[in-house]
Chain A
Amino acid sequence: MFVVIAGGGKVGRTLARILISRDNEVMMIEQDRRRYQRLTQEFEESVMFGDATEIFNLERAGIERADVVAAVTGDDEDNIIICQVADHKFNVPKSIARVNNPENQEAFDVLGVGPTVSATNSLLSLIEHEMPAHKLVHLLNLKKENLEIVEVMVEDGSPLALKRIEEISLPAGVLLISILRDNQALIPQGSTELRAGDQILAILEPGREDELTHLFLSV
């Protein structure tokens, strides 16, 4: 496979290195003279100096026979232009764009540029996945009795999904009192299986909330 990579920053050169190690042909285009000179030491003939948004430079890089163009410069407008030229002028079978600023994602989408890769968006979705949609909700606080009733949801992918109550080792001072499923409240028994989407009502001693949410998030 022949891949033209626009941009020789950290993303571009790592990508180039991996592709070359897997026996692909690569041409990387870097517009910063100093960075280009450093890159030639490692990539020799596989890197060229120039502005990848100039059609002439893309031609010099051999875009006409490229299987893939990866626009991974640090400028979103440049990445958009490079992909549009690759798609519409040179009919490159596949062009991939890096989105630097997630707020520009819509611009890539509106202009039909992509698939896009955004490190920030990937990180965000990973983080969101780790956070419960609504954390633990306090329903009732029995101060005098030193107890509280909370609600917590079994997320998709929670280690508790498809587990039977008896298989779960609850922290001391925590008791599951009801499962809200399909608008019905079930009284849990040892053999009751939890499902993703279940809302669990639990009674616990104040201060044990973290142990409970932790249980729902990790094994």
Chain B
Amino acid sequence: MYVVIVGCGRVGSALALGLVSEGHKVAVIDEDEDALLRLGEDFPGDFVHGVGIDIKSLEKVHTQNADAFVAATDGDNTNIVSAQLAKERFGVKCVVTRVYDPHRARFFKEQMGISTICPTADTINLLATAVRTCAVNP
């Protein structure tokens, strides 16, 4: 499988390393050239210095050939736009994006057809469950 990942922070880089270790082909885009350091010297995938909403950067990594596309920069709006471009402009079927803001995550998932993962909403649920559990078994 060929996966394009936008954003090479903690999440993007760990995901990239995990996927290559399973034998998948991976390309990573980040606006910070130093982000490449997170992938280590012998990273077998591609790294492109660029921006996720820039069509030229997406073309450089042949996004049209991607089986999956992940937008995991620290910017919600960059992720949402990047994911939509992967879907609409490059025809990638599997597009997943991280969106911190639960309202934007829900809106773009429900009305714009983008698969969003919202760490904030997940954390809220986990915390609520934890609180309920200790309230029941103090």
Per-residue A-contact encoding for B70-85, CB less than 8 Å = 1, 0 else: 0000011110110011
The reply to whether the CB of B34 lies closer than 8 angstroms to some CB of chain A is no
* Min CB gap B33→A, angstroms: 19
Number of interface residues of B (CB under 8 A): 20
Contact present for B85 and A111 (CB under 8 Å): yes
Contact present for B112 and A84 (CB under 8 Å): yes
Residue of B nearest to A55 (CB): B103
The reply to whether the CB of B88 lies closer than 8 angstroms to some CB of chain A is yes
* Min CB gap B17→A, angstroms: 27
Per-residue A-contact encoding for B87-118, CB less than 8 Å = 1, 0 else: 01100000000000101100100011000000
The reply to whether the CB of B55 lies closer than 8 angstroms to some CB of chain A is yes
The reply to whether the CB of B132 lies closer than 8 angstroms to some CB of chain A is no
Stretch at the interface among A35-43, A71-79, A204-212: A71-79
Contact present for A77 and B78 (CB under 8 Å): yes
The reply to whether the CB of A24 lies closer than 8 angstroms to some CB of chain B is no
Contact present for A103 and B84 (CB under 8 Å): no
18 A-B residue pairs with Cβ-Cβ distance under 8 Å, sorted by A, are A53-B104, A54-B104, A55-B103, A76-B53, A77-B77, A77-B80, A77-B81, A78-B77, A80-B53, A80-B77, A80-B81, A84-B112, A85-B104, A88-B107, A88-B112, A104-B53, A107-B54, A107-B89
B residues contacting A by CB (< 8 A) are: 53-56, 75-78, 80-81, 84-85, 88-89, 101, 103-104, 107, 111-112
The 4 A-B residue pairs with the shortest CB-CB distance in the complex, in nearest-first order? A77-B77, A55-B103, A77-B81, A81-B77
